[in-house]
């Protein structure tokens, strides 16, 4: 979908060539005297357009409007969450008519956050998956014009939102693909395709390289599948080489049967979504390639299937992680943490400024937070605050949960350094405590997206979350770094010693 930003009043938007015109109406008094504004004010006064965000009033061929259909959409207080509700409702209603050109205009003034939410919401509401359908009907909307009172003031937010949409839709694409169309090998090929974009490099390691690195925990999960594992290493270079990178680690279980600890049959098809953490890393890199922020980012994706054959890891088996810690596998369906722990150990070689892992990790997090907010765990206060702020800014929200040491008691084992699972109580927290054992050398955060990565039921499909949160966090961090450098006075008397570049300390060949 092609997005365009224009300076448009409601009166000017009425003359805009489009199939559907969506007018976003706030709760503030409407003072404009053009026909559409007067009509919106009258509808509100009569109670036909309540102020509650998401309420709609559809019009057909109103006077003095080029578009044959007009949708008045309430956005209440005009805050990003309200704008998102209004746009999703309006685009959802409009797409039933299969329009090719849609215009959205803000009646009240709009800031960058509201504009960004309008862009991502319009894309979300109009998204259509087509890859494995023989007679697919793709998204009908080809061109979307967004009108605001002053386009010059929100251009940066608009451009970043367009880039974020590219990332979200890449994450949706790979999340939605059936497991036989999204194997670890195919996921690695998608990562390699990203390396064709500016400032991105990709390396893919196979079973031999992973074994040589000592990733016994990761390899143990993969050993029950005929599909070979892949360990994907992506690098985005937007800053000097001596700037420590942010490392993103995405869980890439392309299908999860539960292994020997087999899952119930009901809704097991949804376990194709168990690689949505990996998909979000790919999507974030797609957005970075478009935005080109001044930051270095590394993406690590351990990817495999969790299957059940004669070679599969068994409950009670003890495996040795890359860190040297031994792990008693009490439940083979707690496999995500087993692949992530080796990736977290690998992340240390980059001397990271921060490490964030993203995983559809626990059903317990779904019970705790539902599908509204992702679970956030963090060992660093500043990192936690920055991720929470990014979630609010992008409307891709998270909620911080505790990491008290008492929660780790259930992970004790009589036969290994640690067990891979504790009891049912606090399951999302004990999973995070397991990961924390492998992330003690750097600022670390864990996003449990088991409740937010996809939707079930009639709307079944990947959400692309938390690409919006991650892009917002990284671009804000990059902007802050640039601002700090601009305010530091230059002196000739002393120079800071450069940091050691975050380069790997071991060499590994790409898998063939």
Alpha-carbon distance of 445 to 281, in angstroms, equals 15
3-state DSSP percent of the chain in helix, strand and coil, to 5 = 40, 20, 40
Burial class (CB in 10 A: 0-12, 13-18, 19+), 134: exposed
Catalytic residue among 337, 373, 397, 465: 337
CB count, 10 Å around CB of 422?
A: 21
61: region left, alpha or beta (phi > 0 left; psi from -120 to 50 alpha): left
Number of H helices, E strands in the chain: 14, 20
Task: Provide long-range contacts, Cβ within 8 A and 24+ apart, for 403-412.
Answer: 403/377, 403/378, 403/379, 403/429, 403/432, 403/433, 403/436, 404/429, 405/433, 407/433, 408/433, 408/434, 408/436, 408/437
Written as six digits, the tokens of 351 are: 């001397």
* Known catalytic residue at 263: yes
Sheet holding 326-328, edge to edge: 318-320, 326-328, 418-419
* Known catalytic residue at 135: no
According to DSSP, residue 372 is labeled: T
Catalytic residue among 79, 95, 263, 455: 263
The helix/strand/coil state of 483 is helix
Alpha-carbon distance of 324 to 500, in angstroms, equals 25
CB count, 10 Å around CB of 442?
A: 19
Element (H, E) at 320: strand 318-320
Q: Residue 466: is the preceding peptide bond cis (ω within 30°)?
A: yes
Active site residues: 263, 337
């Amino acid at each position: 979908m092609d997005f365009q930003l224009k300076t448009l009043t409601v009166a000017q938007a009425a003359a805009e060539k489009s199939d559907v015109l969506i007018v976003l109406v706030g709760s503030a008094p409407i003072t404009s005297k053009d026909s559409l504004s007067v009509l919106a004010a009258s509808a509100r006064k009569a109670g036909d357009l309540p102020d509650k965000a998401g309420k709609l009033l559809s019009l057909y061929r109103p006077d003095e409007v080029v578009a044959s259909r007009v949708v008045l959409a309430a956005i209440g207080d005009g805050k990003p969450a309200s704008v998102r509700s209004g746009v999703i409702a309006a685009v959802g209603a409009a797409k039933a008519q299969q329009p090719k050109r849609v215009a959205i205009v803000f009646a009240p003034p709009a800031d960058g956050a509201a504009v960004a939410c309008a862009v991502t919401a319009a894309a979300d509401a109009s998204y259509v998956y087509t890859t494995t359908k023989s007679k697919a009907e793709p998204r009908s909307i080809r061109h979307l014009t967004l009108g605001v009172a002053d386009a010059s003031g929100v251009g940066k937010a608009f451009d970043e939102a367009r880039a974020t949409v590219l990332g979200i839709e890449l994450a949706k694409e790979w999340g939605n693909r059936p497991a036989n169309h999204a194997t670890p090998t195919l996921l690695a090929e998608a990562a390699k395709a990203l390396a064709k974009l500016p400032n991105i490099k990709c390396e893919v390691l196979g079973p031999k390289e992973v074994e040589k690195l000592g990733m016994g925990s990761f390899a143990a999960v993969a050993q029950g599948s005929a599909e070979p594992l892949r360990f994907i290493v992506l690098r985005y270079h937007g800053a000097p080489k001596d700037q420590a990178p942010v490392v993103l680690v995405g869980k890439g279980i392309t299908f999860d049967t539960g292994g020997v600890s087999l899952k119930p049959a009901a809704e097991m098809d949804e376990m194709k979504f168990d690689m949505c953490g990996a998909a979000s890393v790919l999507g974030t890199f797609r957005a970075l390639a478009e935005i080109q922020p001044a930051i270095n980012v590394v993406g690590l994706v351990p990817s495999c299937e969790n299957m059940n054959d004669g070679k599969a890891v068994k409950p009670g088996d003890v495996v040795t992680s890359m860190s040297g810690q031994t792990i008693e596998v009490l439940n083979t369906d707690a496999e995500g943490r087993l692949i992530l722990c080796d990736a977290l150990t690998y992340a240390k070689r980059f001397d990271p400024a921060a490490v964030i892992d993203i995983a559809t990790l626990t059903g317990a997090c779904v019970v705790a937070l539902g599908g509204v907010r992702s679970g956030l765990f963090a060992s660093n206060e500043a990192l936690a605050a920055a991720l929470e702020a990014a979630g609010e800014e992008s409307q891709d929200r998270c909620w911080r949960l505790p990491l008290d040491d008492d929660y780790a008691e259930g992970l004790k084992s009589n036969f290994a350094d640690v067990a891979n699972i504790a009891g049912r109580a606090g399951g999302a927290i004990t999973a995070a405590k397991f990961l924390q054992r492998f992330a003690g050398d750097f600022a670390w955060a864990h996003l449990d997206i088991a409740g937010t990565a996809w939707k079930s039921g009639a709307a079944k499909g990947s959400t692309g979350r938390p690409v919006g949160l991650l892009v917002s966090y990284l671009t804000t961090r990059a902007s802050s770094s640039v601002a700090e450098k601009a305010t530091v006075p230059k002196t000739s008397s002393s120079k800071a010693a450069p940091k050691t570049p975050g380069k790997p300390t071991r060499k590994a060949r790409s898998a063939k």
